[in-house]
Amino acid sequence: MSNSFDSVVFIKLPAQFRLSADAFQIDPSIPLPVQRQGDGPLVPDDLTAEMIFAGILAVLAHDRLNPHADYYRGLLLKARPNIKQELGAAAILKAKNEDFDLAEEIFAALRELDPDDIAVVLDTALMLDQRAESYRKSGLHNAADAADKGALLYYKNAMASEPALPDAFFNAGFFYLKKSLFDRARECFEAYLSLADAADAPDEKAAENVSYKRARAAEIISGIGVQHLDDEQFKTAHSLILSGKEQEGLESVRRFLEQNPKAWNAWHVLGWGLRRLKRWEDARQAFRQAVACGGSNADTLNELAVCCMELGGYAESEQHLKDALAQEPDNAKLMTNMGFLLHKQGRIGEAQSWFRAALEFSPDNAPARQMTGGRGAGGSAG
């Protein structure tokens, strides 16, 4: 995959060269990285400060061992004192628009621009977390797992910082929660509460934000305790199913449910294991129970819709998908499954509209792309 460093060239400028009357001072003995704008020869008269700045950022992002990195870093910070804030805002916007390659490159440059800024490390973790979620919604599970590994690394680095950064623990708690690692999630939220209690909010708006987060963290800790989701038996069941040992995992989660019959997460895990074994009716009943116990989220509704689809319950499947899309209208996996459902019913035109919508949100969505190409009747996006 190409990146900005591929179009960087290093040049030495003559001592008398100036970009403008108020230009920054350049050491003529050190070659400067310049981001080329085209394939033609680089003419000094066409050189701009922005081309040099772009070249420096590419070096910081992709050539960390460059012997002149400190000089380039100092040059950029002196010439553009607000560059960190500008780049941070740009990277967050790129991530929001799911331009993850560029967002990741900007964050890489920011980490090298100021290695002591732990907020950038946390922002990197959040971006990779978001990237993993986007990939998973598109059915790109291997890519999602790789992004998750990166996110976990940066979360751990942010949590290890001194002084401690409370938000690192708060956001890492949600990361572990999504992975059903409830004991680690609880530990993170407990750490957040401890740190938030000791910190002073700089203004009223920040105080309101901390108050909301404290209440949310306390709520999640309570929920984990009430449902016993940090129970070793529940964790073992989840791990067994994840590793392909569905039968053992199902036995473990059933034992857990005997003691905790209202734990919707456990009913979800039971349904997930049964669905992996293609035991569609049993899985449908488990997911229905998960919904009845309070787990009416987009993921559970999608799983329930897939089971109904496989059993020929098209009307019920469509309703569950509509309910899930009401919660997550930009979820490409849900759109793709709606397309499969309509295709199974012979509603080809409507199905194609959903597949095209899925591709607008996730161009790498292979199942939707295949269906818009007219190859195969498809199944589901999972």
Q: Give residue-wise pLDDT tens across range 249-288.
A: 999 999 989 988 988 989 999 999 999 999 999 999 999 9
Q: Decide which of 40 and 240 is more confident.
A: 240
Lowest-pLDDT range, 13-17, 53-57, 136-140, 329-333? 13-17
**Looking at residue 374, what is its pLDDT?**
44
Per the DSSP assignment, residues forming a β-bridge with 11 are 32
- Distance between the two ends of the chain, CA-based, in angstroms? 28
Q: What number does CATH give the domain 231-295?
A: 1.25.40.10
Q: Is the pLDDT of residue 218 over 60?
A: yes
Domain 315-382, CATH class in plain words:
mainly alpha
Residue percentage of the chain with pLDDT more than 90:
51
CA distance 111 to 124: 9
Confidence of residue 376 (pLDDT cuts 50, 70, 90): very low
Tokens of 153: 């690394």
Q: Is the pLDDT of residue 227 over 70?
A: no
CA 171 to chain centroid, in Å, comes to 12
**Looking at residue 381, what is its pLDDT?**
62
- Coil, strand or helix: which one is 22? coil
Strand segments (E) across the chain = 8-11, 32-35
* Residue given tokens 């910190």 in the structure block: 199
Q: Decide which of 78 and 137 is more confident.
A: 78
Spatial CB neighbours of 141, under 8 Å, sequence gap ≥ 6: 135
Lowest-pLDDT range, 12-16, 98-102, 292-296? 12-16
Tokens of 264: 């919707």
Inter-residue contact 76 to 56 (CB < 8 Å):
yes
Q: Is the pLDDT of residue 188 over 70?
A: yes
Query: How much is the average pLDDT of 129-158?
Result: 91
Residue percentage of the chain with pLDDT more than 70:
89
Closest to 241 (Cα-Cα) out of 255, 252, 230: 252
Question: Rounded to a whole number, what is the largest CA-CA distance in the chain?
Answer: 82
Spatial CB neighbours of 85, under 8 Å, sequence gap ≥ 6: none
**Looking at residue 2, what is its pLDDT?**
56
